Structure 1
Amino acid sequence: MYAEERQQAMAQLIGQQGRLSVAELAETFAVTTETVRRDLSTLERIGLVRRMHGGAVPASSLTVIEAGLRERDQVNPGAKDAIAAAAVQLLPPPGSVIILDAGSTTVRLAAVLPRDHRLTVVTHAVPVAARLAGFPQIELHLLPGRVRSTTQAAVGSDTVAALANLRADVSFVATNGISAEYGLTTPDRDEAATKRAIVAAGRRTVVVADSSKIGVENAQRFASLDDLDVLVIDSGIKDEDRDALQAAGLEVVVA
């Protein structure tokens, strides 16, 4: 069977079954899992399937819905508070520069920054800036750009250009999804471009994400695991997921 024929048959089978794992597809078509992953990447590029954690689903079965900040803030609040408390322990020395990405967990991190730890904080997130505006130990810089109503964060070419001229000691980044195979993802193209620039601007990148994000793969990838240093996550992460992320070279801190 030629690759094109196999890929067509694979797409039809996924459409019939609704979801199939990489292992199941490899057994069905008598090929390696690496071949299956390449085939799925090809099928995803042409819009026939969507890759998910460990497999694929028909593209028609997914509707991209990006939750608003208020809605996301109500999901796993205890876990996010624990993550913020653990992430504070990873702050650089006083006098350093950090970037705080937009997200419900980074808002919590902003709220618990120690009052005796002087920092320069750069952010594109309006809620983060609002939290920090009255902190006397914080020199606050708000990035330019178009503010999206969904995330209340500045995005666009002006935001990316401003980040290109920055060098931070640590970037604290939020994400809509994280997987060992695909890295960090988000549904929106402009958000992805901004997050990509935030990762690039940091000498060290710390991801703050609750365990519900594990295995989620959104449409726009903004970082591979090689771009990251630490993941701070709650205790809901499964052992096999933690092992897979660590095997990929990411330090995992369980809050």
Structure 2
Amino acid sequence: MLSHTRKNKILELLKTYKQISTQKLEKELDVSGATIRNDLAQLEEQGLIERIHGGAVLPDKDEVDSFRNFHKRSEKNIEEKKAIGKLAKDYIKSGQTIILDASSTILYLIPYLSNCEKLTVLTNGIYTALEVKNEEDFNVILLGGIVRPKSGSVEGLIGSCMLDDISADLMITSSHGFNVNNGLTDFNFYEVELKKKMVSKSSKLIALVDHTKIGHTSAAQFAKTSDIDLLITDSGIEEDDVKKIKEAGIDIIVGK
């Protein structure tokens, strides 16, 4: 069983039982205690569980929902996201095929797309598609798959298969975390697999990452540092982080 599949199974079991022992997880998932403890440590780091003696429990429900609820995330760091979206528009050209992820940051880019003509836009974002479809000469493709409660994204193998014959000029994405060692990371293991495929089908990758996510690592990687052509962030970023990003070979633009 793959690591991300196993961690999602742990979360599903916790949702059912509210509290679960390490021994039960070992039996349910047929893995060693060391593997379970490592998984629990990573899930706790992301705020998705709380470890207790001999097992784990779910944390406060509101805290977990703050990670997963799209509308809550879209209300955070609004001015920073607006500044980032305004800068990102300059890298999108008429006639291109672009991939947009389901992040709340992307919503602040969409108003600027009206300056382009004849874009083909592929996205797994439900709200992204609803916003961008209003442009009459855009070809908007919503990738198929599973829609989960309180999520603004579509996930799963159907969307991945739809990308098989696609060659995109550009992917624009955000993430839950970024650092130069681990690249772009996110907390939704199923969506991460789809975003990996999106990255592989794009000629260029632009990351829109506000300063609160710089230096952090989430549960799973979907893009290596070497995959990123340009990172756009806001003025809250530390100078030391700017230096590290440049030294890693990534072009960076800082909004005001």
| TM-score bracket for the superposition, by shorter chain length | 0.7 to 0.9
Amino acid at match of 1:220: A
Contact kept in structure 2, 1:102 and 1:151, CA below 8 Å: no
Contact kept in structure 1, 2:114 and 2:135, CA below 8 Å: no
Q: Structure 1 pair 43/178, CA: closer, same or farther in 2 (3 Å)?
A: farther
TM-score, scaled relative to structure 1? 0.74
Correspondence for 1:247: 247
Correspondence for 1:119: 119
RMSD: 2.6
Correspondence for 2:6: none
Correspondence for 1:139: 139
Please identify runs of 4+ aligned residues in structure 1 that moved more than 6 A.
42-45, 61-64
Contact kept in structure 1, 2:101 and 2:124, CA below 8 Å: yes
Amino acid at match of 1:150: K
Correspondence for 1:110: 110
Percent identity over paired residues: 28
Distance 1:154 1:130 in 2: 13
| Bigger shift: residues 212-221 or 112-121 | 112-121
Contact kept in structure 2, 1:121 and 1:140, CA below 8 Å: yes
Correspondence for 1:82: 83
1:22-48 C-alpha deviation (Å, 9 max, x unpaired): xxxxxxxxxxxxxxxxxxxx9999448
Q: Structure 1 pair 202/240, CA: closer, same or farther in 2 (3 Å)?
A: same
Contact kept in structure 2, 1:43 and 1:49, CA below 8 Å: no
Instruction: Tell me the matched-pair count.
Output: 208
| Bigger shift: residues 190-199 or 64-73 | 64-73
Contact kept in structure 2, 1:234 and 1:254, CA below 8 Å: yes
Distance 1:184 1:45 in 2: 24
Matched, 1:67 2:54: no
Report the Cα offset of residue 106 of structure 1: 0.6
Matched, 1:189 2:185: no
Amino acid at match of 2:124: H
TM-score, scaled relative to structure 2? 0.74
Query: Secondary structure in 1 aligned to 2:191?
Result: helix
Contact kept in structure 2, 1:171 and 1:205, CA below 8 Å: yes
Matches within 5 A, 1:148-227: 148-227=148-227
Distance 2:116 2:178 in 1: 33
Report the Cα offset of residue 237 of structure 1: 0.7
Distance 1:167 1:221 in 2: 22
- Greater C-alpha radius of gyration: 1
Query: Secondary structure in 2 aligned to 1:168?
Result: coil
Contact kept in structure 1, 2:143 and 2:162, CA below 8 Å: yes
Distance 2:179 2:69 in 1: 22
Matched, 1:229 2:229: yes
Amino acid at match of 2:253: V
Q: Structure 1 pair 137/48, CA: closer, same or farther in 2 (3 Å)?
A: closer
Contact kept in structure 1, 2:235 and 2:254, CA below 8 Å: yes
Amino acid at match of 1:99: I
Structure with bigger strand share is 1
Contact kept in structure 1, 2:179 and 2:217, CA below 8 Å: yes
1:215-242 C-alpha deviation (Å, 9 max, x unpaired): 2211111111011111111111111111
Amino acid at match of 1:82: A
Amino acid at match of 2:88: A
